[in-house]
């Protein structure tokens, strides 16, 4: 199923403790409908010493938030997204605010 955001998009958090903050999507968990956004929902984690990280200690890590709490940023403001199919059969993500084309999901149909 198509999502209104994808990895690398600039998004704004629309609700919760981080409301109004902007960041880039680092990863998407499709099964849990959650996204990890850079600099948003940062928590401190205590890590045990391992062979890869012999020092261990406390690190700060971005934690996931629900995908419904973020919106793509278009011209500095959050926007909803719609999906359009063009005459040549290609499918694109389009911002509702301003009508800007965000991403081509599928190229033109052959034949």
**Per-residue CA distances from 5 to 14, 41, 46 (Å):** 14, 18, 31
User: What is the pLDDT at residue 87?
Assistant: 87
For 6-33, what is each residue's pLDDT tens digit? 899 999 999 999 999 999 999 999 898 9
Q: Where are the domains of the chain?
A: 10-49+57-106
* % residues pLDDT > 90 (the chain): 59
Residue 42 and residue 66: Cα distance in Å, rounded? Answer: 14
CA angle 26, 31, 9 (to 5 degrees): 25
CATH topology of domain 10-49+57-106: SH3 type barrels. (2.30.30)
């Amino acid at each position: 199923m198509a999502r209104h955001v994808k990895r690398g998009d600039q998004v704004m958090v629309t609700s919760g403790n981080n409301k109004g903050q902007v960041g880039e999507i680092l990863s998407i968990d499709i099964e849990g409908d959650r996204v990890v956004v850079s600099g948003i929902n940062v928590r401190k984690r205590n890590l045990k010493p391992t062979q890869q990280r012999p020092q261990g200690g406390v690190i700060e890590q971005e934690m996931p938030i629900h995908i419904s709490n973020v919106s793509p940023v278009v011209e500095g403001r959050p926007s909803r997204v719609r999906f359009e199919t063009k005459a040549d059969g290609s499918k694109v993500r389009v911002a509702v605010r301003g009508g800007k084309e965000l991403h081509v999901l599928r190229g033109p149909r052959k034949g």
